[in-house]
């Protein structure tokens, strides 16, 4: 893609992703412009190499945080700069190559046609997907749908999605959470609470093994504890919002179409 969008960008947070990051960035740039990468305190020299790539590509921008703050904090940093530059929407994708770069134009197109909506990726897993990860996300998805009174979240953990920047920034600035692994599910729930319609679009996801260059910073104990605390506070928020969500549920239905 050579013509850069002035409203929709691709935002990639990265922490010590290694060579997979460069593959991801090249794939994203092949399908969209502009692409921004937020290097979240990485110590693997990826920031330096990205800056060299950006020097030869006017549609690639690198933002760097001095220390690791977490996925949500890195995305917020990128959103603030993007809004300052006039962008209205951001497609977020992981840096480890799991998300399908060739689907970027489709997702951005859906967002452009529905600018008020939250466009959520609905993962389609291949045979190599870890059963524990796939099974565990079903639990998180059930809680997220309960917390929104089944407001249309097809998958709460899949980070390949398009956010309207302004409402997401407002939600994040109003609470101190959503800064680490809890970002994706809490962002979806809170934006549903804020009244954003949802559109779920299927997208393939691929898990890479270590010998294939796959990198994962997921810690089953730490991050599952983080998700448990997140759903606990979201349930408390849900109780207070139950009358409003019930009325909304009766009066209108969210956009829940699963595009093919």
3-state SS, one letter per residue, for 27-79: HHHHHCCCEEEEEECCCCCHHHHHHHHHHCCCCEEEEEECCCCCHHHHHHHHH
pLDDT for residue 69 is more than 60: yes
Q: Which of 19-28, 118-127, 190-199, 200-209 is least confident? A: 200-209
Annotate 116-132 with b (16+ C-beta within 10 A) or e (fewer): ebbbbbbbeeeeeeeee
Whole-model pTM: value is 0.90
The residue written with tokens 């309207």 in the block is: 164
Closest to 140 (Cα-Cα) out of 196, 224, 222? 224
How far, in Å, CA of 37 to CA of 60, rounded?
Answer: 8
Q: Are 77 and 63 in contact (CB under 8 A)?
A: yes
Kindly indicate the confidence band of residue 132, based on its pLDDT and cuts at 50, 70 and 90: low
Percent of all residues in the chain with a pLDDT value above 90, rounded to a whole number: 74
Instruction: Please report the DSSP string for the chain in residue order.
Output: --SPPSSEEEEEEESS-THHHHHHHHHHHHH-S-EEEEEES--SSHHHHHHHHHHT-TTEEEEEESS---HHHHHHHHHHHHHHTT--EEEE--TTS-S-GGGHHHHHHHHHHSTTSEEEEEEEE-TTS-HHHHHHHHHHHHHHHHHTTS-S-S-SS---EEEEHHHHHHHHHTSS--SSTTHHHHHHHHHHHTT--EEEEEEEE-PPPGGGT------HHHHHHHHHHHHHHHHHHHHHHHHHHHHHHHH------B--
How far, in Å, CA of 254 to CA of 53, rounded?
Answer: 41
Task: Choose between 54 and 138: higher pLDDT.
Answer: 54
pLDDT reported for residue 125: 87
pLDDT reported for residue 215: 63
């Amino acid at each position: 893609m050579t013509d850069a969008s002035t409203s929709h960008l691709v935002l990639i947070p990265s922490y010590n992703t290694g060579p997979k990051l460069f593959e991801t960035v090249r794939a994203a740039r092949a399908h969209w412009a502009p692409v921004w990468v937020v290097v979240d305190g990485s110590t693997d020299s990826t920031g330096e190499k990205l800056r060299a790539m950006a020097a030869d590509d006017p549609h690639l921008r690198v933002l760097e945080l001095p220390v690791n703050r977490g996925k949500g904090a890195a995305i917020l940093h990128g959103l603030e700069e993007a809004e300052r530059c006039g962008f209205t929407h951001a497609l977020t994708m992981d840096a480890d190559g799991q998300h399908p770069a060739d689907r970027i134009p489709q997702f951005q197109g859906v967002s452009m046609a529905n600018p008020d909506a939250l466009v959520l990726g609905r993962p389609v897993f291949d045979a190599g997907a870890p059963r524990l990860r796939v099974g565990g996300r079903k639990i998180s998805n059930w809680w997220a749908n309960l917390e929104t009174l089944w407001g249309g979240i097809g998958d709460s953990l899949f980070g390949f999605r398009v956010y309207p920047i302004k409402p997401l920034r407002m939600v994040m600035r109003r609470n101190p959470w959503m800064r680490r692994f809890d970002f994706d599910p809490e962002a979806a729930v809170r934006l549903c609470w804020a009244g954003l319609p949802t559109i779920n679009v299927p997208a393939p996801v691929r898990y890479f093994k270590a010998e294939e260059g796959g990198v994962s910073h997921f810690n089953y104990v730490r991050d599952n504890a983080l998700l448990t605390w997140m759903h606990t506070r979201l349930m408390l928020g849900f109780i207070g919002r139950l009358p409003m969500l019930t009325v909304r549920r009766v009066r209108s239905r969210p956009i829940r179409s699963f595009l093919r």
